[in-house]
Amino acid sequence: MGAPKVMSTERSVGVVETRFYEHRKPVSLESGMILEKAVVAYETYGTLSPSRDNAVLLCHALSGDAHAAGYHSGDSSPGWWEDMVGPGKAFDTEKYFVISSNVIGGCKGSTGPSSPNPATGKPYGLSFPVVTVSDMVEVQKLLIEHLGIEKLLCVSGGSMGGMQALQWVVSHPEVVSSCIPIASTYKHSAQQIAFDEVGRQAIMGDPAWRSGDYYGHAGPVRGLAVARMVGHITYMSDRSMEEKFGRILKNSVLGYEFTQEFEVEGYLKYRGDSFVKRFDANSYLYITKAMDYFDLTREKSLMRVLGAARCSRFLVVSFSSDWLYPSYQSKEIVKALKMNGNDVTYCEISSDYGHDAFLLEFVEETRLVRHFLDKVMRDGRRC
């Protein structure tokens, strides 16, 4: 399955604090609905330069949050991109001011379906308005403005984070100097939508879902666990699953009964059971729906849409065994950028880890990102 990954020996950003920005004015959403106010959970790493020209925004994937790196006081759990963010790492916090925020619709501090509805004082549940990737970006921009930043050196992320990064250069090209979408796409395919729908149906089919009004009750833990199990299968590759599990039995002999007899069955159950302890089922519905709605080409060709980003440089990264967001989707982005005359670098990293590679192949990613950002920082704004 390739060379085993070695945890970085570089220094960590250390203890960090999650902060909260509350935008008290109504936020207009793409659906036409209004969000009366938005709270955004975010973390920052490094120091903003006096000229405010070294800010990097990191966007998380489906189940991520604001905690990209470092450790919270009293909690040793590392951030979701721990090996990519810190002194001497890809997003070097001795050079860059790195920002990571939780998306709206989420459940890790930003306003979402589990947040109290100001009109009732009770959790929104399904009364929370449907949000899109574009809405997530617009709220992120409010945060960036709150931090006093007019120009981002880079926006980057993997999977859904890459979608947000692309939406940034389309919606606010004047604000973004460079973009690094990793293992991502410019629109969800039918297959990607299909997998998300299976997960949503698992949640909504759980009697404990209670039409989204389960707060104060046990909640649809089995449905959410199954959704995560299905999702996790898509994050791995056939080869990685074969090499990790094969047909290994948990016990030495078959029991001829409906229990988790194979190691892979037990692993999926563990992943599902762990997930329900840290994620809200309604947020899973809202975020997967936002991903399915994502399509930069609803009104124009990809080339025309990306034409707005002529001043941005791009590093597009995909992985050879990623069948959830296959390389052809990244290549379509690269082709459109090249036809526009954009400065774009593309790399398909050979990996057996499937879609999870964007979280695991940090050695190769670091080489690419470090060189790319050094050049962007050195050359400065071109337009």
Alpha-carbon span 370 to 349, nearest angstrom: 16
Class of the CATH domain delimited by 19-188+295-379 = alpha beta
Q: Which CATH code, of 3.10.450.350, 3.40.50.1820, 3.40.50.1970, 1.10.1740.110, is assigned to 193-288?
A: 1.10.1740.110
Task: Report pLDDT digits (tens) over 30-87.
Answer: 999 999 999 999 999 999 999 999 999 999 999 999 999 999 998 888 999 999 999 9
Question: What single letter denotes the amino acid at residue 185?
Answer: T
- Give the residue numbers annotated as catalytic, written as ranges: 159, 322, 355
What residues does CATH 1.10.1740.110 cover in the chain? 193-288
| pLDDT tens profile 324-356 | 999 999 999 999 999 999 999 999 999 999 999
Residue ranges, comma separated, of all CATH 3.40.50.1820 domains in the chain are 19-188+295-379
pLDDT surpassing 50 at residue 9 = no
Q: Is 381 left (phi over 0), alpha (psi -120 to 50) or beta?
A: beta
| Nearest one of 340, 342, 380 to 177, comparing CA atoms | 380
Q: Which two tokens stand for residue 330?
A: 């990244």
pLDDT tens for residues 106-141? 999 999 999 999 999 999 999 999 999 999 999 999
